[in-house]
A and B are shown apart, each in its own frame.
Chain A
Amino acid sequence: MAEGITVGHEASHPALQHHFENLEQQREAGALGMWVFLVTEIMFFGGMFLAYTLYRTKFPAAFASASNHLDLTLGAVNTVVLILSSFTMALAVYSAQVGKRRNQLICLILTILLGLTFLGIKAVEYRDKYEDSLIPGSLIPGRPFNPAVQEHGQPYDKHKLHLLPGANVKNVEMFYWIYFAMTGMHAVHMIIGVGVLLVILYFSWRGRYGPEYHNPVEISGLYWHFVDIVWIFLFPLLYLLGRHLEH
């Protein structure tokens, strides 16, 4: 079968797929594809943001009480960890573009480690919620949502739920469901991201990416930054809501 007309010496580049005319077209398609995918992700998370907005407006006291019970320190540390990981990811993309293989490997490994750190801290937070019986519904069979509630005048106990006036425990449970749904979905995206970066790391180690061809590193970076940005929205909405009302 006759070949289509191809342009320039890039036609012989091993990474060029047969249905693209040249590497530039392939790069554009890959990048646009990832941007479009990220748009779908925004809409996906959007459904949960809508539910959050609706019920936060409807049950402000319960949501503030539940939010105050989240671990602010761990949440804040995780935010820093993720922003750092985005920084190392950006450096990894840059190193691929300028063809510094060693830096590229170091930055990818750092990004993966930071991602895993985030997931580890998240796991600690989830365990704390489990211990305080804050997992909603029957998500964990045999461990229903049943937090100890701080009575008025009792000494401060960080394992107890401090209900603000007007807050209903049923709606606190709803907050925790939205919390687990949103952070859980975010964590799933983090896990996928780490998996993707491991693949990129392998090919990077094989020396596949350089100034001429680094599209996969770039679009994986886009995905990583997106997951990071989702957290940037989740953190204030879930953790910082109503802190000023505490005590």
Chain B
Amino acid sequence: MKAFETFETPTAARVNYINAEYGLKSWLLTKDHKRIALLYLGSISAFFFIGGLYAMFIRLELLTPQGDLLSSTTYNKVFTQHGIIMVFFFLIPSIPATLGNFLVPMMIGAKDLAFPRINLLSWYLYLLGGIITIWALLAGGVDTGWTFYAPYSTTFSNSYVVATGVGIFISGFSSILTGLNFIVTIHTMRAPGMTWFRLPLFIWSHYATSLVMILGTPVIAITILLLAFERLAHVGIFDPANGGDPVLFQHLFWFYSHPAVYIMVLPGMGVVSELIANFSRKNIFGYKFVAFSSLAIAVFGFLVWGHHLFVASQSVYAGMIFSFLSFAVAIPSAIKVFNWTATLYKGSISYDTPMLYALGFIGLFTVGGMTGLFLASLAVDVHLSDTYFIVAHFHYIMVGGTLLAYLGGLHYWWPKITGRMYPEGWGRFSALVVFVGFNLTFLPQFIAGYLGMPRRYHAYPPEFQVFNVLSTAGASILGVGLVIPFIYLLWSMRYGKHAEPNPWHLPGLEWRTASPPPTENFLATPIVTWEAYEFAPPEEMQVIGKLKNEGLEVADAVIDGK
């Protein structure tokens, strides 16, 4: 951060949120949503690194069919901890807590989130939960799988289930508070003229995400609490030995954990909607459909958890209904994909790094979503359940979807966040490496899973080795592709080219203030008189239309010109 002291250009001499105050205390006690976003950025990056290390061990172990690198018990802990760290401490907070925290107030023209102190509290809860979880992992780890299924977790597992549960319980409240803050902010703090249908789609998707956060997270909180009590005090509602029903645990767990998938992917969809519209320099095709499809996903998302229980003694009639509803959730998802594609049509597309990530997202999310339909079909799921097909499917959504959107968004808003440009050439290169590495990692897993390779084993029949070698090779490439942006983004904070307030020349509100923005975001309360993604005022559009009718070529620069 010190780099900013040495700025000499006139724009940098200005007071912004980064150089407004100095010292550790000014960061740890900050109530500025932008600084809290950076605190989150640092901490989730650390957790991503830890989760990535576990992934590395998984892929190395699976390089050979024998269980030679890790014992089966260690392997159980490694995949469990990979899942727990990545799901609860990276994917769920990733986009909302960093980009969302930074951008929700800026995009609606507010000075901060509605409850700045609660925002800071949520970071501390996240950190506390994270530290407790890390402690549990160091003390001996946990081997239940990230799903904590009873009665193994309540009675038989000989690992740190309760400590890990407490960590997740606490960090869950950080998620609840973030969602609460977003909902209240979006409802009450929009700038004059910023009507609901002028909101950027990033805001709509964060609103929908927040709904899932506040409705789902409390359920996992009480579930984990009951689980911990059951384990500690032998009081029980999950363990059959106490007359309980383990399937109740699965219902409660997936009531949160399936919607949690939408906590992960909805913000990614919001980022991609921004990227596709802005890098096509067009208004998004069917704004209202894209906006409401976010809400539809949030609502439908709560009604499909039973597809995780197709092979868990759930009644076949419930299975049929959940199967149908799981198919239904594909509709709003498909609406988004079609509308993004239609937005590209005749757009003035530029292939900058964020756009490469966005296009990658569309492809990979589509694969992830379509294979989800296989799993939503009752009979097919019986064959595919607990195989690598599932693993590949949800990594296509979580890595191919969320992670790519997160990286795309991070590059896109990097100039706004840091006031510096990232190196474009390296950006494009690494986006490509990530895409190739990702596909090489997870595409073979679809095939291995379809052929019957089960998940969560450290050894496997030799005929699956070819797929696993491909997958491990891909993971190495993916790893390199993720290290490159980590290095050049850090580098750019000191040495990157200074960013203009609006380096992409876009109409969004966040681009109409300085880079990096002042502490109060805008020097005066903005008054919004334009629609979202309005690249040319209506009069200009008419002129351009007339010119076009007269057969004249109109340069894009004219269309974009303000």
Contacts and interface: CB of A to CB of B under 8 A. Distances in A.
Given A21-B525, A40-B217, A28 B233 contact: no
Interface in A169-184: 170-171, 173-174, 177-178, 180-181
A47 B222 contact: yes
Nearest to A168: B243
A40 B236 contact: no
A177 B232 CA distance: 13
Contacts of B520: 1, 4, 19
A39 interface: yes
Interface string B218-241: 110111001001000111110000
A216 B560 CA distance: 48
Interface size grouping (class) on chain B: 35 or more
A2 B15 CA distance: 11
A120 B233 CA distance: 25
B518 A1 contact: yes
B214 A51 contact: no
A108 B180 CA distance: 28
A85 B523 CA distance: 47
Contact of A138 (B111, B219, B234): B234
A98 interface: no
B534 to A, nearest CB: 23
Contact of A136 (B187, B235, B248): B235
B110 interface: yes
Interface stretch (A30-38, A157-165, A222-230): A30-38
B245 interface: yes
Contacts of B236: 137, 174, 177
Contacts of A2: 523-524
A5 B243 contact: no
B524 A4 contact: yes
Nearest to B247: A54
B234 A174 contact: no
A186 to B, nearest CB: 13
B112 interface: yes
A41 B115 CA distance: 19
A174 B214 contact: no
B66 to A, nearest CB: 43
Interface in B83-119: 110-116
B82 to A, nearest CB: 27
Contact of B243 (A36, A45, A139, A170): A170
B127 to A, nearest CB: 21
Contacts of B523: 1-2, 4
A44 B116 CA distance: 24
A80 to B, nearest CB: 28
A50 interface: yes
Contacts of A20: 189
Interface string B147-191: 000000000000000000000000000001000110111011100
Contact of A44 (B187, B219, B234): B219
Nearest to B114: A29
Q: Find the residue from B114, B181, B183, B518 having the highest chain A CB count within 10 A.
A: B114
Interface string A2-43: 101100000000000011110001001100110011011101
A152 to B, nearest CB: 24
Contacts of B221: 44
B415 interface: no
A39 B525 contact: no
Contacts of B234: 137-138
B252 interface: yes
B189 to A, nearest CB: 7
Q: Find the residue from B15, B218, B251 having the highest chain A CB count within 10 A.
A: B218
A39 B248 contact: no
B116 A43 contact: no
A2 B111 CA distance: 13
A37 B122 CA distance: 14
Given A47-B222, A177-B236, A36 B216 contact: no
A55 interface: yes
Contacts of A48: 222, 226
Contacts of B45: none
A177 B216 contact: no
A33 B219 contact: no
Contacts of A18: 111
Contacts of B242: 170, 173-174
A46 interface: yes
A59 interface: yes
B226 A181 contact: yes
B171 to A, nearest CB: 15
Contacts of B185: 29
Contacts of B219: 43-44, 46-47
Nearest to B244: A174
B222 A32 contact: no
B223 A47 contact: yes
Given A19-B110, A43-B215, A181-B229, A33 B243 contact: no
Contact of B235 (A1, A5, A177): A177
B460 interface: no
Contact of A178 (B110, B111, B237): B237
Given A19-B110, A19-B116, A59 B243 contact: yes
Contacts of A173: 235, 242
B215 A29 contact: no
B522 interface: yes
B188 A29 contact: yes
A168 B243 CA distance: 10
B519 interface: yes
A50 to B, nearest CB: 7
Contacts of A181: 226, 229
Contacts of B110: 19
Nearest to B105: A19
A222 B112 CA distance: 25
Contacts of B222: 44-48
Given A41-B218, A44-B222, A47-B219, A55 B187 contact: no
A87 B187 CA distance: 30
The 10 closest A-B pairs by CB, nearest first: A137-B235, A47-B222, A44-B218, A19-B112, A43-B218, A177-B235, A19-B111, A137-B234, A29-B114, A137-B233
Given A177-B229, A181-B226, 17 more contacts: A4-B520, A18-B111, A19-B520, A32-B183, A32-B184, A32-B188, A36-B184, A47-B218, A47-B219, A47-B222, A55-B237, A58-B245, A137-B236, A170-B242, A170-B243, A174-B237, A181-B229
13 contacts: A18-B111, A19-B111, A19-B116, A21-B525, A25-B189, A29-B189, A36-B180, A36-B184, A47-B252, A48-B222, A50-B248, A55-B243, A181-B229
